[in-house]
A and B are shown apart, each in its own frame.
Chain A
Amino acid sequence: MRVALFLTCVNDTLYPDTGRAVVKLLTRLGVDVDFPLGQTCCGQAHYNTGYRHETEPLARHFSDVFGEYEAVVTPSGSCAAMVRELYPRLGERARAEGRGQTLARTLAPVVPKTYELTEFLVDVLGVTDVGAHYPRKVTYHPTCHGLRALRLGDRPRRLLEAVKGLELVELPGAEECCGFGGTFALKNADVSAAMGADKVRAAESTGAQVLCAADNSCLMHIGGTTSRLRSGLRPVHIAEILASTEEEPAL
Chain B
Amino acid sequence: MSGTFVGMPAFAAFPEAAREAVGNRTLRGNLRHATHTIRAKRARAVAEVSDWAELREAGRRIKDHTLHHLDRYLEQLEESVTRAGGTVHWAADAAEANRIVADLVTATGESEVVKVKSMATQEIGLNEALEAAGIRAYETDLAELIVQLGKDRPSHILVPAIHRNRGEIRDIFAKEMGEWGRPAPDGLTDTPAELAEAARLHLREKFLRAKVGISGANFMVAETGTLVVVESEGNGRMCLTLPETLISVVGLEKVVPTWRDLEVFLQTLPRSATAERMNPYTSMWTGTTGEDGPRTFHLVLLDNGRTDTLADQVGRQALRCIRCSACLNVCPVYERAGGHAYGSVYPGPIGAILSPQLRGTASEIDASLPYASSLCGACYDVCPVAIDIPEVLVHLRERVVEGGPAVRAGNRVLLKPAKGHAAERAAMRAARWALAHPGALRTGQRLASRTRRLHPRTLPGPGRAWSGTRDLPPVPAEPFRDWWQRTHGTDNGEGAAK
Using CB atoms and an 8 Å cutoff, list the residues of chain A in contact with chain B: 7, 9, 11-17, 19-20, 34-41, 43, 45-55, 57-58, 61, 64-65, 89, 96, 144-145, 147-149, 175-177, 179-197, 220-221, 223-225, 227-228
Complex formed: what's the CA distance from A184 to B18 in Å? 13
Complex formed: what's the CA distance from A23 to B401 in Å? 39
* Contacting pair B374 A9 (CB below 8 A): no
Given A58-B436, A144-B374, 20 more A-B residue pairs with CB atoms under 8 Å apart are A16-B479, A35-B480, A35-B481, A35-B484, A40-B441, A41-B441, A47-B394, A50-B398, A50-B399, A51-B402, A51-B432, A52-B394, A58-B432, A64-B497, A65-B497, A177-B378, A189-B465, A190-B23, A224-B466, A225-B469
Mask of B446-480 contacts with A, CB within 8 angstroms, 1/0: 00100000000000001101101111110110111
Contacts of B441 in A (CB 8 A): 9, 40-41
Stretch among B123-131, B407-415, B488-496 lining the A interface: B488-496
Complex formed: what's the CA distance from A144 to B431 in Å? 25
B331: nearest chain-A partner, CB-CB:
A177
Complex formed: what's the CA distance from A89 to B15 in Å? 29
Mask of B414-436 contacts with A, CB within 8 angstroms, 1/0: 00000000001100110110011
Assess A223 versus B313: contact at CB under 8 Å? Given A46-B431, A148-B380: no
What are 28 A-B residue pairs whose CB atoms fall within 8 Å in the complex? A13-B448, A35-B493, A37-B481, A37-B485, A37-B493, A38-B496, A39-B493, A40-B441, A54-B428, A61-B435, A61-B436, A61-B497, A65-B497, A148-B376, A148-B377, A148-B378, A176-B376, A177-B376, A188-B333, A189-B15, A189-B469, A190-B18, A190-B22, A192-B374, A193-B468, A193-B470, A197-B469, A224-B471
**Does B111 count as interface, using CB distance less than 8 angstroms?**
no
Stretch among B62-70, B73-81, B365-373 lining the A interface: B365-373
**Does B381 count as interface, using CB distance less than 8 angstroms?**
yes
Using CB atoms and an 8 Å cutoff, list the residues of chain B in contact with chain A: 14-15, 18-19, 22-23, 28, 313, 332-333, 336-337, 370-378, 380-381, 391, 394, 396-402, 424-425, 428-429, 431-432, 435-438, 441, 445, 448, 462-463, 465-466, 468-473, 475-476, 478-481, 483-485, 488, 491-498
Partner of A186, one of B313, B465, B498: B465
* Contacting pair B402 A9 (CB below 8 A): no
* Contacting pair B374 A179 (CB below 8 A): yes
A20: nearest chain-B partner, CB-CB:
B483
Assess A227 versus B15: contact at CB under 8 Å? Given A34-B492, A50-B398, A54-B429: no
B484: nearest chain-A partner, CB-CB:
A35
A197: nearest chain-B partner, CB-CB:
B469
* Contacting pair A51 B425 (CB below 8 A): yes
* Contacting pair B332 A179 (CB below 8 A): yes
* Contacting pair B497 A38 (CB below 8 A): yes
B405: nearest chain-A partner, CB-CB:
A97
Complex formed: what's the CA distance from A194 to B468 in Å? 12
A179: nearest chain-B partner, CB-CB:
B374
Contacts of B371 in A (CB 8 A): 183-184, 187-188
* Contacting pair A13 B479 (CB below 8 A): yes
* Contacting pair B428 A51 (CB below 8 A): yes
B485: nearest chain-A partner, CB-CB:
A37
The winner among B313, B374, B488 for most chain A CB atoms within 10 A is B374
Q: From DSSP, what is the main secondary structure of chain B's interface residues?
A: helix
Assess A37 versus B402: contact at CB under 8 Å? Given A144-B374, A195-B374: no
* Contacting pair B494 A37 (CB below 8 A): yes
* Contacting pair A191 B469 (CB below 8 A): no
Partner of B400, one of A40, A50, A183, A227: A50
Assess A65 versus B466: contact at CB under 8 Å? Given A54-B428, A179-B374: no
A224: nearest chain-B partner, CB-CB:
B470
Complex formed: what's the CA distance from A196 to B470 in Å? 9
Contacts of A191 in B (CB 8 A): 15, 18, 22, 333, 336-337
Complex formed: what's the CA distance from A223 to B496 in Å? 35
A149: nearest chain-B partner, CB-CB:
B377
Complex formed: what's the CA distance from A192 to B371 in Å? 12
* Contacting pair A148 B466 (CB below 8 A): no
Assess A7 versus B480: contact at CB under 8 Å? Given A185-B466, A189-B466: yes
A168 → B minimal CB distance (Å): 23
B28 → A minimal CB distance (Å): 8
Complex formed: what's the CA distance from A43 to B18 in Å? 28
Complex formed: what's the CA distance from A26 to B278 in Å? 53
Complex formed: what's the CA distance from A174 to B494 in Å? 40
Complex formed: what's the CA distance from A64 to B438 in Å? 13
Contacts of B495 in A (CB 8 A): 38
B468: nearest chain-A partner, CB-CB:
A189
A211 → B minimal CB distance (Å): 14
Contacts of A34 in B (CB 8 A): 492-493
Contacts of A17 in B (CB 8 A): 476
* Contacting pair B473 A224 (CB below 8 A): yes
Contacts of B463 in A (CB 8 A): 186
Contacts of B313 in A (CB 8 A): 96
A46 → B minimal CB distance (Å): 6
Complex formed: what's the CA distance from A177 to B497 in Å? 35
Assess A184 versus B480: contact at CB under 8 Å? Given A49-B397, A50-B397, A50-B400: no
Partner of A144, one of B19, B376, B485: B376
A173 → B minimal CB distance (Å): 9
B46 → A minimal CB distance (Å): 15
* Contacting pair B445 A12 (CB below 8 A): yes
Contacts of B400 in A (CB 8 A): 50
B233 → A minimal CB distance (Å): 31
* Contacting pair B374 A39 (CB below 8 A): no
* Contacting pair A16 B480 (CB below 8 A): yes
Complex formed: what's the CA distance from A224 to B465 in Å? 13
Complex formed: what's the CA distance from A37 to B381 in Å? 37
B443 → A minimal CB distance (Å): 12
Complex formed: what's the CA distance from A65 to B481 in Å? 15
Complex formed: what's the CA distance from A228 to B19 in Å? 19
A115 → B minimal CB distance (Å): 19
A186: nearest chain-B partner, CB-CB:
B465
Complex formed: what's the CA distance from A224 to B429 in Å? 27
Assess A38 versus B493: contact at CB under 8 Å? Given A223-B473, A227-B471: yes
Q: Which 10 A-B pairs have the closest CB atoms?
A: A181-B374, A50-B397, A36-B493, A224-B470, A177-B376, A189-B465, A193-B469, A148-B377, A16-B480, A38-B497
Contacts of A96 in B (CB 8 A): 313
* Contacting pair A177 B332 (CB below 8 A): yes
Contacts of B425 in A (CB 8 A): 51
B492 → A minimal CB distance (Å): 6
Contacts of B462 in A (CB 8 A): 186
* Contacting pair B374 A36 (CB below 8 A): no
* Contacting pair B375 A144 (CB below 8 A): yes
Partner of B336, one of A49, A147, A194, A220: A194
Complex formed: what's the CA distance from A78 to B485 in Å? 26
